Amino acid sequence: MKSKLLDIFRRRHACHLFQADRLLAPDDLNFILEAGRLSPSSFGLEQWKFVVFTDSAAKLAVQDACFQQPQVGTASAVVVILAKLAELHPDSDYLQRLMGREYPGDALDAALKNYRNFHAATDVKAWSDNQCHIAAANMMTAAAAIDIDSCAIGGFDPSSVIRILQIDPDYHHPSLILTFGYRAQEPGEKLRLPMQELVEFR
C-alpha cells in the first residue's frame, strides 16, 4: 500500500496540455469530486464549493481569466474551487448548522465561544482559502490514482472569475482552479528537493 501510494504521488504532475477531444467518464469525475467532498477541514466547516465546467465555451471563458493558459481550454473538466466567506461568520445559519453537527449537545456552547474568538482574530479569507487547498490536493491525488492528469492553477484574475461565475464576492472567493483530463504529451522528469533539505527532526 505504501509503495502504491508513493507511486501515485510520483506519477502526478502539472499537466499543461490535455487531449481536448478525450472526455472524462462521469463516474470518474464524480470520484474526483467525492475525494474533495470527503476532505478534512478546520472545525469541520467544509469551507469549499466546487463549480465544474465541461462546456467548451465556458472553459474558454475561464481560460481568458487564467491568462490564456492552454490547460484550461483543453481540459475535459475545469473545477473552480470557491472559498466560503460570509457563511463562516459565527452567526450565520450555515455555521450554526455545521457546528451543531460537529459539537452536539452541551459541547456546542463552548465550541461556539471558541470559534467566535478564533473568527475575530483570523484573516478569514486566507484561512478559508487554505482549507480549499486541502480538498484540491486530495482531488488531484484521486485523479492520479485512476490515471487522470491534472493541473492546479493559482494564476488567474479573481475579478474575472467572479464575473464569469456571477457570484457575490462577500460570500465566495475564488481559491484555486483545477483542470482534469488526459495528457497530450509525456511529462518530464519529476524534480523535487531531497528529503534532508526539507525535513528537520527535533
CA 78 – CA 106 distance, rounded (Å): 42
pTM of the predicted protein model: 0.95
- What are the residue boundaries of the structural domains of the chain, listed by start? 12-184
Cell numbers given for 57: 465555451
Tell me, what's the pLDDT at 194? 97
pLDDT digits (tens, 9 = 90+) for 81-95: 999 999 999 999 999
Query: Residue 18: how many CB atoms within 10 A of its CB?
Result: 26
Q: Give the mean model confidence (pLDDT) for residues 161-187.
A: 97
pLDDT digits (tens, 9 = 90+) for 45-93: 999 999 999 999 999 999 999 999 999 999 999 999 999 999 999 999 9
Contact (CB, 8 A) for 65 and 157: yes
CATH topology of domain 12-184: NADH Oxidase (3.40.109)
Instruction: State the amino acid at position 144 in one-letter form.
Output: A
